[in-house]
Amino acid sequence: MTIDTATAQQQVLAAADALFYERGVQAVGMDAIRNASGVSLKRLYQLFPSKDHLIEAYLDKRDLQWKTMLAEHVEAATDPRERILAVFDFLHTWFMEKTFRGCAFINSFGELGTVSPQVAELARRHKTGFNHALKELAAAAGAPDPQRLADYLILLSEGAITTSAFTESAVPATRAREAAQLLMAATLPA
């Protein structure tokens, strides 16, 4: 029985997502993705003509997942300051996941950023989008210089992500949240 193209793409992307995120993009070959997805190698290459195409699709999928999960946490808060802190609550929840292995974009950039301009661009675009979301939250909270506060918040967030991946602990999200509260107290109007 042949599966339709959309289903086959979903199966391949799900397998690639799990394997790339757990092991790294360079360590996983197309045969492993074929085995995990149940899609033939011929069909796999029809869907994704190269591993580079599959890595790009994986990062696009991760970007959408990240934005969706972050938005769910932020939109659950109504107070503008609490919306900023919700970012760190989201990070804490994410860090507690059994499968947490750090940021897929940082990981992929570390592996391929110097040899793959597309991976580097996707990582930069993701981080720029996160910075823009933080800037919007800072502006909504009344920051006199929203970009400056966003720059501080992204450093806290990215530091927490990396530290959590190394320490296998969610504590960095808690510490980053505390630091964000101090920053907001120092920079936002009373």
CATH class in words for 1-49? mainly alpha
Which of 85, 84, 106 shows the shortest CA–CA distance to 164? 106
CATH 1.10.357.10 applies to domain 61-187: yes
Kind and range of the H or E element at 128?
helix 117-140
102 neighbors 173 (Cβ within 8 angstroms): no
Give the domain ranges of the chain: 1-49, 61-187
Read off the tokens for 131.
């910075």
As a whole number of angstroms, the distance between CA 18 and CA 34 comes to: 13
105-149, pLDDT tens digit by residue? Answer: 999 999 998 999 999 999 999 999 999 999 999 999 999 999 999
Selection from 8, 18, 24 nearest residue 119 by Cα: 24
pLDDT in tens, 70-114: 999 999 999 999 999 999 999 999 999 999 999 999 999 999 989
Task: Supply the pTM of this predicted model.
Answer: 0.93
Helices 104-112 and 117-140 sit at what angle, rounded to 10 degrees? 150
